[in-house]
Chains A and B, each alone.
Chain A
Amino acid sequence: MANDVMISASDLSKSFGSFRALDKISFEVKRGEIVGFLGPNGAGKSTTMRILTCFISPTSGSARVNGHDVFDEPLEVRKCLGYLPQRAPLYLEMSVLEYMRFAADLRHLDEETFRKRAKSIVEVCGLGQVLGKEIRHLSHGYRQRVGLGQALIHDPPILILDEPTSDLDPNEKAEFLDYLKQIGQERTVLLSTHNLAEVESACARAIIVSRGRIVADGPLDEIRAKSGRVRYVVAIQESAGEAQYRGRGAPPKKGDVEEALGKVVGVKKVSELPTDERAHAYELVSEKEVDLRPDLFKLMVDKGWVLLELRRDAQTLEDVFRNLTIGDERRNRRLPSASDGVDDDEGEDEDEGDEEDDDEGDDSEAGERDEKAAKVGS
């Protein structure tokens, strides 16, 4: 049973007029998986979820939830789903208990089951204090909890949560994620978010979408490893202030440092980090296989500069995410895409990240995307 496919989408596309919100998305989610559905705003996360919950229909492609087709058997699909839409749109004039009962009624639970389920939901969602209150008087955090509560009332095998933590404070978020792990053991959860820390703590697998396409899908470690590059942070003293300068000669100028760092073999990118006047700090990016640290050390010794910090990070999920989806930002700001240094990185990243498009070369793919971006931008 462990390998049951609970959600499967194949070649889902959705167009709103001339805007293509989803472009042939395919993925599968198995029983017991908690999958993070990641992407920048407008990437198509909510659209996908709305298709899976039969709220809208795809323009082409098909999807099955728990073996039922979303187009042919919407009622069956909805029966085995718990869904929390973005921002938890609840009936504000109802009290929490009334709302729970309404959801239970529509799901045809009998009174005894309702009591039993409601009791456990009130406990785990922490709704005991607000049961009799009207939803309009609740904070957004509590509304989210009520929304989650109604999604769980019928003990569904599949949960689809659209940005469930967006309105929670950090404590609530942590609690919610713990709870999610707990209920996720025997359930399938598809969770959309743009908060990467959440995905790292709750999900074992992530699907990253960007501009309606899947750009990465797999276990988090694999996705992290995808970018295949390493980041270094180097800080060099610029002024010693009152204290004695311990380097050789005068402290270096900004341009000199940048130039020297750029010349180190293996460095792919140098970018300045914000600092005060006491130091120059730079971020370097290199391929994973090369270790720049010995060379950097040698550079410092040769130049006689004072090294304040040298750090090597594997790329975080956040960096990967940014690299994979950066085209979206550019599109939103209407920047021409082939103009800055990040661009060639993007092309390669996407190529590595997106298995489906592996057959296309770097340049042609980047070019195609640029064209698209320009079209949408105009």
Chain B
Amino acid sequence: MRNIFIIAKRDLRAQFNSPVAYVVIGGTLLLLGVLLFVIQHTRVGNVSVGGFWEIDRATMDQMFLYLPPLMSIFVIPAVTMRSLASEKGSGTLELLITMPVRDSEVILGKYVASCTMVLVLLGLTLLYPIGMFFFPWHLGALDWGPVWSGYLGCACFSVAAVGVGMMFSSLTESDVIAFFLTAGALFFLYALGGLVTFLSSNSAWGVLSDGLAFVSFQTRYESFARGIIDTRAIVYFVSVATLCLLVSFRSLESRKWS
């Protein structure tokens, strides 16, 4: 336990000592702000884009629409790419592993650090609902219930997505490759949701769409954004994270046998 904490602390410090953390946090908040407040409200098929103002209701729904894809293709790959890949590349992993620590502690320590980083960013996005509906502006009486459930959904989503990122980071020695593999995989898992909506309109594809919906991050996440806390989804996200961590663990261990 103690080793996990020590490794996580070092990793977090390294993240915040480098510009990456600030670029990621600043960039995400900025991008989210632009998507919410600057872009005009339009509808692309079933998905509405932009338009915090045009919706004319005291709601943060739009933010929870943008957060997961933004995190999938930008935040989580950037945070997790360095955790194992660059350590393998630069050889620092050898020094870390030859300390009296278990492989599992290394994986968990790094996972905890990446999760913390992503959750800190998620916490910072609270600035938008607070700024709009609490202080300094009071644009209306916001129903905080769906906001909290949305955050819970985002947190669960992040926990699983960071696991996916760790897995790809453990499979390669280059952080650039880890970034693109993670971004690709997360985008795919999320975009499956769109495919589900498309297929479910045709009854012939029912089974397939059900199957895809089972895997899709988006389908799992959607209920949270609507204010429903779905325990099946929580179990799903935690299972994905666990599976990915097991793969990372095995991949780290495989150095012994290669």
Binding site for B on A (CB under 8 A): 16, 50, 53-57, 75, 78-79, 81, 83, 85-87, 89-94, 98, 102-103, 105-108, 147, 150
Proximity bits, B89-122, A CB within 8 Å = 1, else 0: 0111011011111100000000000000000000
Please indicate the chain A residues that have their CB under 8 angstroms from the CB of B257 in the complex: 56-57
Shortest distance between the CB of A210 and any CB in chain B (Å): 23
Contacts A91-B14, A93-B14, A94-B14; is A106 near B94 (CB within 8 Å)? no
Contacts A93-B18, A108-B2; is A102 near B10 (CB within 8 Å)? yes
Shortest distance between the CB of B240 and any CB in chain A (Å): 30
Give the residue name and chain of the B residue nearest to A89 (CB): B91
Taking the complex as formed, is B17 at the interface, i.e. its CB lies under 8 A from any CB of chain A?
yes
Please indicate the chain A residues that have their CB under 8 angstroms from the CB of B17 in the complex: 93-94
Proximity bits, B217-258, A CB within 8 Å = 1, else 0: 000000000000000000000000000000000000001111
Give the residue name and chain of the B residue nearest to A102 (CB): B10
Taking the complex as formed, is B6 at the interface, i.e. its CB lies under 8 A from any CB of chain A?
yes
Give the residue name and chain of the B residue nearest to A87 (CB): B91
Cα–Cα, bound, A150→B95 (Å)? 10
Contacts A56-B256, A93-B17, A102-B10; is A85 near B95 (CB within 8 Å)? yes
Cα–Cα, bound, A103→B3 (Å)? 11
User: Please, how many residues of chain B have a CB less than 8 angstroms from a CB on the other chain?
Assistant: 24
Q: Which of B91, B97, B99, B102 gathers the greatest number of chain A CB atoms within 10 Å?
A: B99
> CB < 8 Å: which of B6, B98, B102, B256 contacts A81?
B98
> CB < 8 Å: which of A78, A87, A89, A98 contacts B99?
A78
A-B contact pairs, 16 of them (CB 8 A): A56-B256, A78-B100, A79-B100, A83-B95, A83-B98, A89-B94, A90-B92, A90-B95, A91-B10, A92-B90, A93-B14, A94-B10, A94-B14, A103-B99, A106-B99, A107-B99
Contacts A78-B99, A93-B18, A107-B99; is A55 near B91 (CB within 8 Å)? no
Shortest distance between the CB of A257 and any CB in chain B (Å): 53
Contacts A107-B99, A108-B2; is A55 near B258 (CB within 8 Å)? no
- Interface contact B94-A85, CB-CB below 8 Å: yes
Cα–Cα, bound, A86→B90 (Å)? 11
Give the residue name and chain of the B residue nearest to A16 (CB): B258
- 20 additional A-B pairs beyond A57-B256, A78-B100, beta carbons within 8 Å, are A54-B98, A55-B98, A56-B256, A75-B100, A78-B99, A79-B100, A85-B95, A89-B90, A89-B92, A90-B92, A90-B95, A91-B10, A91-B92, A92-B90, A93-B18, A102-B6, A103-B99, A105-B6, A108-B2, A147-B95
